[in-house]
Amino acid sequence: MIEFTFWDIARNLIFATRWTVLLSIAAFAGGGIVGVAILLLRISKAKWARRFASGYIALFQGTPLLMQLFLMFFGLPMLGFRIEPWTAAVLGLTFFASAYLAEIWRSGVDALPRGQWDAGASLGLHYLQELRLIILPQAFAITRAPVVGFLVQLIKATALTSIIGFEELLRTSNAINNATFEPFTVYGLVALIFFVLCYPLTQYARSLEARAAAH
């Protein structure tokens, strides 16, 4: 057993937290970009596009995230793609996030009255201009609270990437615990770090909900 002081353990866990944060940011950004594309297909006038988007969302919402990560990490190399744990983690979480973000934003689009579309048409705007200038800005604005709420879930979901070998917070904590045999200290600090990361976002989401209710 290796002798670690409390501050040694805390310092190593805080150092590992940067990978959890970076992974969360990368997956949220990537999920947002892909999510917008899926959203556009989901609300498209083309039937095939709506079916594709619905199937995509159903696939990634209806299957376990862990299985999706396994398919990325173990499945892609069988197809000839060399992939590292970081890349597999980002891809898996990106596709996972995109399905949920697309559906959140679709609910925002559906919440807008039909008159918003009619107003754009009366101004001579074509479909894409209506989306860019009228519909999407409002849909994004009214769904900010659930988007922030989903970000909290995404941060916690990064812990699953330890299974495929990505050195984020949980995997580092497992290694430290195996060396120190101090599970209460190690995992207690991990829980505290996740709380520090997630609690401000949870409170921000609640404030956005309260503000939206007031309006």
pLDDT in the model for residue 2: 57
For 106-149, write each residue's pLDDT tens digit.
999 999 888 888 787 787 788 888 888 889 999 999 999 999 99
The residue among 20 and 215 whose pLDDT is bigger is: 20
Is a pLDDT exceeding 90 seen at residue 155?
Answer: yes
Mean pLDDT, residues 19-25 taken together: 96
Could you give the CA distance from residue 84 to residue 149 in angstroms, rounded to a whole number? 29
Please state the domain extents for the chain.
Answer: 6-214
Mean pLDDT, residues 169-177 taken together: 91
Task: Work out the percent of the chain whose per-residue pLDDT is above 90.
Answer: 70
For 178-213, write each residue's pLDDT tens digit.
888 889 999 999 999 999 999 999 999 999 988 877
Three-point CA angle 122, 123, 124, nearest 5°: 90
DSSP strands (E only) in 2-154: none
For 68-81, write each residue's pLDDT tens digit.
999 999 998 888 88
The Cα diameter of the chain in Å comes to: 74
Helix (H, G, I), strand (E, B) or coil at 20: helix
CATH H-level superfamily of 6-214: MetI-like (1.10.3720.10)
Q: What is the DSSP letter of 49?
A: H
Alpha-helical regions (H) of 123-143: 127-130, 136-142
Is a pLDDT exceeding 90 seen at residue 103?
Answer: yes
